[in-house]
Chain A
Amino acid sequence: MVKAYVGIDVGSVSTNIVALDENYEVLFNYYARTNGQPLDAIKAGLEKLKKELGNNINISGVGTTGSGRQLAGVMVGADVIKNEITAHAVATTHYVPDVRTIFEIGGQDSKIILIKDQMVIDFAMNTVCAAGTGSFLDHQAERLGVPIEKFGELALTSTNDVRIAGRCTVFAESDMIAKQQYGFSKADIIKGLCKALVRNYINNLGRGKKLEPPFVFQGGVAANVGIKAAFEEEVGHEVIVPKYHNVMGAIGVALLAKEEVEKKKGRTNFRGFNSLQTDFVPSSFICTGCSNNCEVIKVEMNGTPIAMWGDRCGMWKEKVKRAI
Chain B
Amino acid sequence: MKIGVPKALLNFYYGPFWETFFEELGMEVVLSEDTNKEIIDAGVRESVPEICVPIKIFIGHVLNLLEKDVDYVFIPRMVSINEGEIFCPKFMGLPDMIRHGLEGLEDKVLTCHIKSESDDISDYSNYLSIGNTLGISKEKIKKAAKVAGEHWKKFRNYNKNGYTALESYNLVYGKGKLKGRNNRKKGIKIGLLGYVYNVYDSFVNMDILNKLKELNVEFITFDMIDEDELRNNIDDMDKVLFWTFSNKLLGAGYKFFRDMEVDGVIHITAFGCGPDSFLGKLLEIESDETQIPFMTLRIDEHTGENHLQTRIEAFVDMLKRKKLKAI
CA distance A259 to B322 in the complex (A): 12
CA distance A292 to B34 in the complex (A): 12
Say whether B314 contacts A85, CB under 8 Å.
yes
Say whether A119 contacts B307, CB under 8 Å.
no
Q: List the one stretch of A26-34, A38-46, A120-128 in contact with chain B.
A: A120-128
CA distance A253 to B295 in the complex (A): 22
Q: Does B222 interact with chain A (Cβ within 8 Å)?
A: no
A267 to chain B, nearest CB (A): 18
Look across to chain A and name the residue whose beta carbon is closest to the beta carbon of B310: A83
| Chain A 123-143 per-residue mask, 1 if CB under 8 angstroms from chain B, else 0 | 101000000000000000000
Q: Which residues of chain B have C-beta atoms less than 8 A from A259's C-beta?
A: 321, 324
Given contacts A86-B313, A86-B317, A291-B36, contact A119 B293 (CB under 8 A): yes
With an 8 Å Cβ cutoff, the count of chain A residues facing the other chain is: 24
Q: Which residues of chain A have C-beta atoms less than 8 A from B291's C-beta?
A: 117
Say whether B293 contacts A121, CB under 8 Å.
yes
Say whether B310 contacts A118, CB under 8 Å.
no
Q: Does B294 interact with chain A (Cβ within 8 Å)?
A: yes
Q: Does B311 interact with chain A (Cβ within 8 Å)?
A: yes
Q: Does B319 interact with chain A (Cβ within 8 Å)?
A: yes
Q: Which of B272-327 contact A (CB under 8 A)?
A: 291, 293-296, 304, 307, 310-311, 313-315, 317-319, 321-322, 324
Size band of the B side of the interface? 20 to 34
Given contacts A83-B313, A122-B295, contact A290 B322 (CB under 8 A): no
Say whether B293 contacts A292, CB under 8 Å.
no
Q: Does A298 interact with chain B (Cβ within 8 Å)?
A: no
A323 to chain B, nearest CB (A): 20
Q: Which residues of chain B have C-beta atoms less than 8 A from A257's C-beta?
A: none
Q: Does A321 interact with chain B (Cβ within 8 Å)?
A: no
Q: Which of A168-209 contact B (CB under 8 A)?
A: none
Q: For the complex, would chain B's binding face be called helix, strand, loop or mixed by DSSP majority?
A: helix
Partner among B36, B294, B307 whose Cβ is within 8 Å of the Cβ of A121: B294
Look across to chain A and name the residue whose beta carbon is closest to the beta carbon of B316: A86
Q: Which residues of chain B have C-beta atoms less than 8 A from A76's C-beta?
A: none
Partner among B38, B206, B293, B314 whose Cβ is within 8 Å of the Cβ of A86: B314
B290 to chain A, nearest CB (A): 12
Q: Does B37 interact with chain A (Cβ within 8 Å)?
A: yes
Q: Which residues of chain B have C-beta atoms less than 8 A from A105's C-beta?
A: none
Q: Does B207 interact with chain A (Cβ within 8 Å)?
A: yes
Look across to chain A and name the residue whose beta carbon is closest to the beta carbon of B295: A121
CA distance A51 to B210 in the complex (A): 43
B38 to chain A, nearest CB (A): 5
| Chain A 82-94 per-residue mask, 1 if CB under 8 angstroms from chain B, else 0 | 1101100110000
Say whether B36 contacts A292, CB under 8 Å.
yes
Say whether B37 contacts A116, CB under 8 Å.
no
Look across to chain B and name the residue whose beta carbon is closest to the beta carbon of A294: B304
Q: Which residues of chain B have C-beta atoms less than 8 A from A291's C-beta?
A: 36-38
Given contacts A117-B291, A118-B322, A291-B38, contact A82 B317 (CB under 8 A): yes
> Which of B304, B314, B315 has the most C-beta atoms of chain A within 10 angstroms of its own C-beta?
B314
Say whether A90 contacts B37, CB under 8 Å.
no
CA distance A256 to B37 in the complex (A): 36
A residues whose Cβ falls under 8 Å from a Cβ of B:
82-83, 85-86, 89-90, 116-123, 125, 256, 259, 263, 290-293, 312, 314
18 example contacts (A-B, Cβ-Cβ < 8 A) are as follows A82-B317, A83-B310, A85-B313, A117-B322, A118-B321, A119-B293, A119-B319, A120-B295, A120-B311, A121-B293, A121-B295, A122-B295, A122-B296, A123-B314, A256-B317, A259-B324, A292-B36, A312-B206
A90-B317, A117-B322, A314-B210 given. 14 additional CB < 8 A pairs? A85-B310, A85-B313, A86-B318, A89-B318, A116-B293, A120-B315, A121-B295, A123-B307, A123-B311, A123-B314, A256-B317, A263-B324, A292-B37, A312-B207
